[in-house]
Amino acid sequence: MLKVEHIGIAVQDLASANQLFAKLFNKAAYKIEEVESEGVNTSFFQLGETKIELLEATQEESPIAKFIKKRGEGIHHIAYEVENIEAEMSRLEKEGFTLLNKVPKQGADNKLVCFLHPKSTNGVLVELCQEIIK
Ligand code: ZN
């Protein structure tokens, strides 16, 4: 893995969280994007090499809605950038980690992503991401 690409934070209300984080960081989000397949609206703030992703549920079935219901707002996942997501997925599966998706899927911010079940990673949801080169 190359670096922490971003940290995902689950929020109840994206518009007000965007304002709050813009004040905190003293800069605005550089991107606001809906990921329909995940049932979320996201925003991204750039802080040096790392980003902060805010996630708001757009429907009750969204993993973010379920997370907030169970645990409240807060840190939802840590995303690590990888060079070759397929290779990393098969390496981690062989190491005994549980992959939540068996093929990389399209994530926010122009990325291919895969999630690891938090039960296999000490309670922290792990996202692998690889930039899609266009
Ligand atoms: Zn993420």
Query: Hey, which residues does 126 pair with through a beta bridge?
Result: 78, 116
95 alpha carbon – ligand 1 mean position (Å):
23
Q: Are 73 and 12 in contact (CB under 8 A)?
A: yes
Give the count of beta carbons closer than 10 Å to the beta carbon of residue 41.
22
2 alpha carbon – ligand 1 mean position (Å):
15
Nearest CA to 33 among 48, 45, 16, 47? 45
Give the count of beta carbons closer than 10 Å to the beta carbon of residue 120.
15
Q: What is the pLDDT of residue 134?
A: 73
Residue type, 97: F
Residue type, 48: G
Average pLDDT per block of 10 residues along the chain, 134 residues long = 96 98 98 92 96 97 95 97 97 97 92 95 96 85
Q: Are 86 and 41 in contact (CB under 8 A)?
A: no
pTM over the 0.85 mark: yes
- CA 121 distance to own-chain centroid: 15
Residues with CB under 5 A from ligand 1 (ion): 8, 53, 79, 127
Q: What is the pLDDT of residue 27?
A: 97
Q: Are 99 and 89 in contact (CB under 8 A)?
A: yes
52 alpha carbon – ligand 1 mean position (Å):
9
Q: Are 75 and 66 in contact (CB under 8 A)?
A: no
**Cα–Cα distance, 76 to 63 (Å, whole number):** 10
Q: What is the pLDDT of residue 112?
A: 96
Nearest CA to 41 among 66, 70, 10? 10
